[in-house]
Structure formats: C-alpha cells, structure tokens
Amino acid sequence: MAGVIRPERIIGTWAHAHEEDTPGHTVFRRGGPLPPSRGRRMLEFLPDGELREGGPGPDDRRRWQAGSWTADGQRLILRLPGRADEVLDVTDFGADRMVVQRE
C-alpha cells in the first residue's frame, strides 16, 4: 500500500509503462526514457492542480488535453472535460514509479 500521497511528490510528467503492467495493475514511470511505443498515455501533474493528459491523435501525433487533479490519501482524482472523474488508486509509489490498481 502506498500510504498518503503527498501532492508535491506527484508533480511532473508520468508515462504509462505498459511493458511493466500486470493483470491487476497499471504502471507509470516518471518522464524518463522508455522504449518507443505507439499510444503511450502521458500524465503531467502541475503544482497548481492543473493536469495535462497526452495521448495519440488521429494522425499519431501526441495530443494534449487540459484538466485538473487532486490527491486524496492514496488516490488521485483526475478531471478532464467531457469525461467522468477518473480515480487512480495508488498501490505503490516511489520517486520514479507509480503503480495503480486496475478496475
């Protein structure tokens, strides 16, 4: 269990490292070098509660969407326009690796 997530430790860009996923968990790595991958989800957490989510557009170039985020204990709540709130239940958290439970 990750315990309480301090918001200042989340700040930065996290990339979905699908190579490390397990059947019950999704793994994100802090913006460091990851092998090239088509469709890698990116989450950029800014200090003022702003969120930017990146993913592939129709022409494979990365598209960014702005939203907001908050931390609540070991959960991150992501709010993006036109979508229901997304809750990430963080089960493991380190300086460069974040593991969230899959629904």
pLDDT digits over 36-59, tens only? 777 789 999 999 999 999 987 777
Domain map (residue ranges) of the chain:
7-32+39-101
Question: What pLDDT does residue 62 have?
Answer: 78
Q: Which CATH class, in words, describes the domain spanning 7-32+39-101?
A: mainly beta
User: Over 90: is that where the pLDDT of 78 sits?
Assistant: yes
Is the model's pLDDT at 2 over the cut of 70? no
In 2-98, which residue ranges form alpha helices assigned H by DSSP? 7-10
Q: How confident is the model at residue 33 (pLDDT cuts 50, 70, 90)?
A: confident
**93 burial type by CB count under 10 A (0-12 exposed, 13-18 middle, 19+ buried):** buried
Q: Give mean pLDDT, residues 68-84.
A: 96
Task: Give 76 or 61, the one with higher predicted confidence.
Answer: 76
How large is the average pLDDT for residues 72-95? Answer: 95
pLDDT of residue 42: 92
pTM of the model: 0.89
